[in-house]
Structure 1
């Protein structure tokens, strides 16, 4: 197994370095370093903004992919990263599997003004002193390589030397271990360090285990604007990216695309899907969320068994089983019992629950999945109503009032919606179509948009309208200022 091989070689190399440079002399070198740069502050949003930061990595190779960019110049690349908007730089120092070196870290630290992270397999206090002696401002601690008491000891020493640690997890147990140890910066690595297989939704599964006061970093498998947009969906504070940067012919352009996806691109939810053809069109067009209606009085109602059939026939389930980054599933309910909602969410694998009835904030808190709560935009009271739900929901959906429950197909006061969107990450619904969604986004600047009847013909989803709607959203997102909104 890769991890065991790397750790065995790491310990062998460590023994030799300890022989060549005794710990006391290493401590002296560490103490002689200027104070470390603030890694935590670099990953936190600026005042008044909530943005996703980039930790850009200097990475020549990996065990799973082999040589990536074996001849890259660490200093030239680091300066490019800094100029393109990275918040911190990660430097591999492991020489055998990643072609890293301590000299890379020291040279990068001298060349840029950003915090620099030592990326390695750290299992001993000697390596913590090494990191500081080489100029590191932060270092990586991997839960899979450490026992809990070892993690605590190394984390304590790291902070005593003025550095901070990125504590990496790969499972629920490791996430709980990191939180219990007091980790301030927790990285969820979507790549299994034993098999090197990818789980693009691991961060979604672990998100609720990590307190809001910790900085959450997404690691591995971040290549496209869509990948970064998905991280924005899970309220991540930072992303660590290596492979897609070092292999990019245009590094600045790749960073720009990732930051646009993470901080600016508007999420798209296609709601009321009933047939596999329309769901497949939403999949192929790059929808972010797929809404399934479980309100029996709705004309778009899907019985649970029908939902499974539609998901299977569309290819959604097969793609998910293959580890593809498919859209999230949202179950829409109206005044349903909380126990029934939780049962259906577990049975059907729903990722989010949308409530469109008279559910109270207390009711929302009983739902085991993150909640989207619909709030009608009637008058100025809508702002107070949205803020009332914000503490117990994942997102608030702003919709047009109707005589019943669900969408009306009519637009509402977008200026009022804008005043709410300035305070909360909202989903905008109500009368959106391929023709007006660009104007709606420019006016409201929402976190996401939700459409149902606006992409229908004769009461059924129209695959061409679905494609046109998503294309219009993507084009309009590029015209927006950098919203830098990830959650609340």
Structure 2
């Protein structure tokens, strides 16, 4: 069993438990459930930098990244830096995040927020909406085609943007469908955790222009972004690069400033 299989198995247990405690009707009564959302795809289309900055405390591959910062301070710093949106990890066991992180970020800023989660159930899409997300992530590696269709249709009915993450050509071909706004290419090989932006370059020509192309993982330098822009990428998800610093907002601002 690889790390992704373990995460999904634990996630099923977690979601079943949550469903038994907080019914869908309660999620739908949330103050934030009726909130108008902000489109990340639209922000990326008109941005020069295309930076989506992440809040990530730890990860299975790198263990502790940064446990010392308040999520609301990170969110404000990122917004002041001029990022297009913020990705908030909400998985607790493997990444040290929570839905409270999403709520606190939402209370602090007006920019688009992506709930970064291993979504395996419609319930989690409703949870995202109820806790202030504007965007959900669907991961092709853990979802069959019919679930990608169902979850993306539900998200669109809630006015949430959808980014679909793929790692290879096979995942891409099974996943392309109309209800997606963005296609994210993850440059990390899930089997050995090696990272190569060549993955983004190879898959770029297979992604229709209707979708905003986003490159994820291994984007730690200005050169990497300049290298990928000719391939049609308009979004760049950066997590550890900023979170490893004492002030991620300042780091993001300097990075964007140097992009020119």
The two structures have a TM-score, normalised by structure 1, of: 0.51
Corresponding residue SS for 1:239 = strand
Q: CA deviation at 1:232?
A: 2.3
Alignment of 1:207-286 (within 5 A): 207-252=204-249, 254-256=251-253, 258-259=255-256, 263-264=259-260
The answer (yes or no) to whether the contact 2:75–2:86 under 8 Å persists in 1 is yes
The answer (yes or no) to whether the contact 1:60–1:68 under 8 Å persists in 2 is yes
**1:44 aligned onto 2:41:** no
Which one of the candidate residues 96, 101, 108 is aligned to 2:98?
Answer: 101
1:171 paired residue number: 168
Q: CA deviation at 1:29?
A: 2.6
Corresponding residue SS for 2:172 = helix
Q: CA deviation at 1:166?
A: 1.1
The two structures have a TM-score, normalised by structure 2, of: 0.93
Q: CA deviation at 1:40?
A: 1.9
The answer (yes or no) to whether the contact 2:153–2:179 under 8 Å persists in 1 is no
Distance 1:209 1:257 in 2: 33
The answer (yes or no) to whether the contact 2:77–2:250 under 8 Å persists in 1 is no
Alignment of 1:47-446 (within 5 A): 51-180=48-177, 182-252=179-249, 254-256=251-253, 258-259=255-256, 263-264=259-260
Distance 2:87 2:163 in 1: 10
The answer (yes or no) to whether the contact 2:213–2:233 under 8 Å persists in 1 is yes
CA RMSD after TM alignment? 1.8
Corresponding residue SS for 1:114 = coil
Gaps of 5+ in 2: none
Q: Single out whichever of 80-89 and 192-201 deviates more from structure 2.
A: 192-201
Q: CA deviation at 1:225?
A: 2.0
The answer (yes or no) to whether the contact 1:189–1:220 under 8 Å persists in 2 is yes
Q: CA deviation at 1:222?
A: 1.3
Distance 1:142 1:30 in 2: 28
Distance 2:228 2:246 in 1: 24
Question: Deviation string for 1:51-104 (max 9, x for gaps)?
Answer: 231111110001100010022210001100010111101100000100001001
2:22 paired residue number: 21
1:436 paired residue number: none
1:299 paired residue number: none
Q: CA deviation at 1:189?
A: 0.4
The answer (yes or no) to whether the contact 1:228–1:259 under 8 Å persists in 2 is no
Corresponding residue SS for 2:53 = strand
Corresponding residue SS for 1:237 = strand
The answer (yes or no) to whether the contact 2:162–2:179 under 8 Å persists in 1 is no
Distance 1:223 1:31 in 2: 34
Corresponding pairs, count: 259
Corresponding residue SS for 1:117 = strand
The answer (yes or no) to whether the contact 2:65–2:243 under 8 Å persists in 1 is yes
Distance 2:135 2:106 in 1: 12
Question: Deviation string for 1:152-191 (max 9, x for gaps)?
Answer: 0000000101111111010112222332354220100001
The answer (yes or no) to whether the contact 1:148–1:181 under 8 Å persists in 2 is no
Which has more radius of gyration? 1
The answer (yes or no) to whether the contact 2:188–2:217 under 8 Å persists in 1 is yes
Corresponding residue SS for 2:162 = strand
The answer (yes or no) to whether the contact 1:45–1:52 under 8 Å persists in 2 is no
Corresponding residue SS for 2:73 = helix
